[in-house]
Amino acid sequence: MPDNTPHSPQQPWENGWAPDASRAPGTRRLWLAGALALATVAACVTAMAVNGRTPREEAPPAAGGAATDSGPGLLSFNSPSAGTSASPEGQKAVPSATSQAPSSPAAHRSPSPRSDATKASGGQGSSTHSPAGPAAGTRSVRSVNYPDRYWHIAGDFVRLDPVGSSPDRRAATFTLVEGLGDASCYSFATADGGYLRHRDFLLRAERDDGSRLFEQDATFCPRASAFSGAVMLESVNYPGRFLRHQNFQLKLDPYQNTDLYRADSAFRLVDGLG
């Protein structure tokens, strides 16, 4: 019969060898790890010794140039900069000419009577300040494009008419005074104690009623004209509207960027005729 009796596994001493009790378990692994660490340290020390070098002496930069390190062991020189170049002794550095001031926003504005007038007169006069006007006194107002015609009171309105007779000359003569609504502007007083004022945008001669509206309607500010010795007269309470003649009627009209408008709105203040 087969032997079915269970047998215990063989022990090491039954095969003729015995465990090494002279060292602690896992010692071999510790020795292998230590050897690997030593090899790594040795490799690092060798690499450092190979790559190590003493600091090199930098060559002086070429005249006018600055030395830059462009790679291991190489020197390169940049072109001198206009903003950092040295100045002669005793002199201050001049800023670079490449810096530019910001452009003026005025260059993008829409045309205005002042800027157009300045251009047409070849740069004469100011585009932002009123031209110096004549001193207070009697004045007549002559058209630029109709030099034989003057402001002339005809009934209640002011027209551009030729004047010859003595009554017409007196009706074309006014006293220039400080503006009723703005002392830096003009008002035109008439011989009978009234003033020239705009109403319904037409220029007319009326008595002062003492109102603030009348003072403003009777005030006109001189502006530079495209014609030498002439002015444009802007309403103080309707900025952008200027006195101009149309069909020889004096009226307050919005500025138009045309040669005809600039000529119709240009007047010369001359000595009084009457």
pLDDT in tens, the chain (274 residues): 555 555 555 555 455 555 555 555 556 677 777 778 788 877 776 777 666 554 444 444 444 444 444 444 444 444 444 444 444 444 433 333 333 333 332 332 333 444 444 333 333 333 334 555 555 689 999 999 999 999 999 998 999 999 999 999 999 999 999 999 999 999 999 999 999 999 999 999 999 999 999 999 999 999 999 999 999 999 999 999 999 999 999 999 999 999 999 999 999 999 999 8
* Segment (H or E) for 36: helix 27-51
User: What are the tokens at 48?
Assistant: 């450092």
What per-residue confidence (pLDDT) applies to 192? 92
**How confident is the model at residue 53, as a pLDDT?**
52
C-alpha 203/C-alpha 221 separation (Å) is 15
Q: How far apart are CA 83 and CA 80, in angstroms?
A: 9
User: Which residues, other chains included, contact 209 with Cβ-Cβ below 8 Å and sequence gap of 6+?
Assistant: none
Residue 270 CB neighbours (<10 A): 13
Q: 73: which DSSP letter?
A: T
The pLDDT assigned to 57 comes to: 43
Q: What is the reported pLDDT for 39?
A: 80
Closest CA to 218 of 271, 263, 181, 259: 181
Write down the pLDDT at residue 38.
Answer: 81
Is pTM beyond 0.75 here? no
Alpha carbons 242 and 175: distance in angstroms, whole number: 20
Phi-psi region of 83 (alpha: psi -120 to 50; beta: other; left: phi over 0): alpha
Question: What is the model's pLDDT at position 30?
Answer: 73
Minimal CA–CA distance to 113: which of 232, 235, 252?
Answer: 232
